[in-house]
Structure 1
Amino acid sequence: MSKRMIDFSEGSYYHIYNRGNSKQVIFYDSEDYEYFMWLLYISNNEDSFAVDRTFSKGYFYERGEQLVAIGAYCLMPNHFHILVTKIKEKGVSRFIHKIATAYAMYLNNKNKRTGSLFEGRYKARHIDNDTSLKYIYSYIHLNPVKLINPTWKEGGIRDIQKTNLFLHSYKYSSYFDYAEPNNYRNEGRILNPDFFPKYFTNKEQFKKEIFSWLKLKYD
C-alpha cells in the first residue's frame, strides 16, 4: 500500500477503507478474517514485532504505545472499513501501512500468489461533524447485511429479527462489542472507545441508532 499525503489532524476522525485489487476477494476463510483482526490489534503499536513470535499470544500481547484509536471496523470478503483517530504523529499512515504489508505477505505466502493485493492507496474520509460520525457507526456495522440481502438499501429490510441475529453472529466486525458489551470477547481489545464521543451509553441506544438507518423501529 503506497503512501498518501493526508494531513491527519489530532482529535479528528477518519473513515479508512480499501478493497482488493480489481475487487478481488481478500478474505477467503475464517482464518484470513481472524488474522486481519489480530493485525488490527497488534499493528496498533509503536514498536516493531515479529509475527511468528507474537501470534500465539493473541490479544494479550503487551503492545507499546498505540498509534491510533479504533472506534469501529468491519471486514467484508473483498474490502474493509475502519474508524480511527490518531494518537501518535503519522499514526494513521503508519498503522495502515503495517497492517497492509503484514496481511499481504501473509496471504501471498498462504495462497502462493504474487502481485498487488489491494486496489492502490487506501481511502480516507475526514468526518467533521456529529451527524456524520454517528452515521458512520451505522454504515460500517450494517455492511454485512448485503451478504444476506444485497438489495436492502433499495428495498428495505422485511425481517428485522433475521437481520439482527445475523449481525450478532457476524464475527468480523465490532458490532457485537457494542451490541453486547457485557458479553466480553478478546477481539474487544481492538477497540478504543474512550477516544470517541459517548453516543451510545448502552446497547439499546446503539441498536436504536443502527436500525434507524434501516428505516425500521427498534423494539
Structure 2
Amino acid sequence: MARKPRFFVSGMPYHLVNRGHNRMPCFGGEADKGTFFSMLCDKLEAFSIKLHAFVLMSNHYHLLVTPDDGAELPHFMQCLGRKYAGYFNTNRQRTGTVWDSKYFASSIESDYYLLACYRYIELNPVRAGLSATPAGYHWSSFHTNACGMKSAIIQPHKTYLALGDCQFSRLKAYRELFNTEMSAEELKQIRLALTKNWVNRQQLEVVRPVPECCG
C-alpha cells in the first residue's frame, strides 16, 4: 500500500523523531553525535528551520522545530538523514540503511502540548536511565532552555518566551516545569501522536509557575 503523503504547515511547530534501523544504534559515541550535531546546524540554516529543543540518544533523536516553509521540512529530514548515513557507513566501512523507513512527525496546536514536548524531549535520557536529571546529559537542549547556556542554533518559541518577562524569570519558570513527573496520560498522548503522525491539540490542565521579575 502506498504511503499517504504528509503535509507540513509553515510556521507550525513539529515534534520529530528518527530512529536507527530496527532500533539499532545510529550514534556510536561522542564523535558520531558531534558530527551529526554539526550537520544538523548546517541543515537548519539551509532549510530555514527553527530549532527549539533536541536530544540525541544512542539509537534515535528528537527535534522540536518550526519551519518557515512547511514544504521544506521533509527535504530537511531527508537531506540530514542521507548526509549522516553517508558519514556513518563510510566511517564503519558498511553499506545499507541507517534509519528506519519513516521518521515520525506530530504537529502541535496548543501551548500546553508544546511545553509538554519540550519536557518529553529533554527528559528522554532520564527515562532511559542514562542520567538522574536532564542537566546530567550533554546532548540535549536542556542546558540552554533551563540553564541559559548560549547556543547558536536554539531559538525559543513564543510559548517559551511567555514563561517570563526576562531571561531570569523564564529560566526559573522553565526549570520548575521539571519539578513534577510527566503523567502516564501525557506520555501516552505524545507517543500516540508521533506514531500516528497526528495533529495534537491536547489541552490538559497545567499549572504554570508565576514568573518572577528580575532583580
Give the TM-score band, short-chain normalised: 0.7 to 0.9
1:12-56 residue CA offsets vs partner (Å, 9 max, x unmatched)? 11111011111100111100111111111111233xxxxxxxxxx
Partner of 1:115: 96
Aligned length: 177
Pick from 60, 70, 80 the counterpart of residue 79 of structure 1.
60
Partner of 1:35: 35
Aligned AA (1:141): E
Counterpart contact for 2:12–2:107, Cα < 8 Å: yes
Aligned AA (1:213): E
For structure 2, the 5+ residue unaligned runs are 165-169, 184-208, 210-215
CA distance in 1, matches of 2:20, 2:64: 19
Q: Which structure 2 residues correspond to residues 59-70 of structure 1 after superposition, within 5 A?
A: 66-70=47-51
Higher normalized contact order (CA 8 Å, seq sep 6+, divided by chain length): 1
Helix, strand or coil: the match of 2:7?
Answer: coil
Pick from 140, 145, 160 the counterpart of residue 126 of structure 2.
145
TM score, norm. by length of structure 2? 0.75
- State the identity %: 26
Pick from 149, 153, 171 the counterpart of residue 190 of structure 1.
153
Post-superposition offset of 1:113: 1.4
Pick from 162, 171, 188 the counterpart of residue 203 of structure 1.
171
Alignment CA distance shift 1:92-1:127 (3 Å): same
CA distance in 2, matches of 1:169, 1:194: 24
Counterpart contact for 1:67–1:94, Cα < 8 Å: no
Partner of 1:20: 20
CA distance in 2, matches of 1:127, 1:14: 6
Aligned AA (2:85): A
CA distance in 2, matches of 1:37, 1:44: 10
Post-superposition offset of 1:197: 4.5
Partner of 1:94: 75
Aligned AA (1:85): T
Post-superposition offset of 1:137: 0.5
Post-superposition offset of 1:146: 2.8
C-alpha root-mean-square deviation of aligned residues, in Å? 2.3
For structure 1, the 5+ residue unaligned runs are 47-65, 150-161
1:187-206 residue CA offsets vs partner (Å, 9 max, x unmatched)? x1121215655244322111
CA distance in 2, matches of 1:211, 1:17: 25
CA distance in 2, matches of 1:19, 1:101: 13
**Which segments of structure 1 move beyond 4 Å, counting only runs of 4 or more?**
194-197
Aligned AA (1:193): P
3-12 vs 70-79, which moves further = 3-12
1:163 partnered with 2:126: no
CA distance in 2, matches of 1:194, 1:145: 24
Counterpart contact for 1:71–1:192, Cα < 8 Å: yes
Post-superposition offset of 1:212: 2.2
Alignment CA distance shift 1:177-1:109 (3 Å): same
TM score, norm. by length of structure 1? 0.73
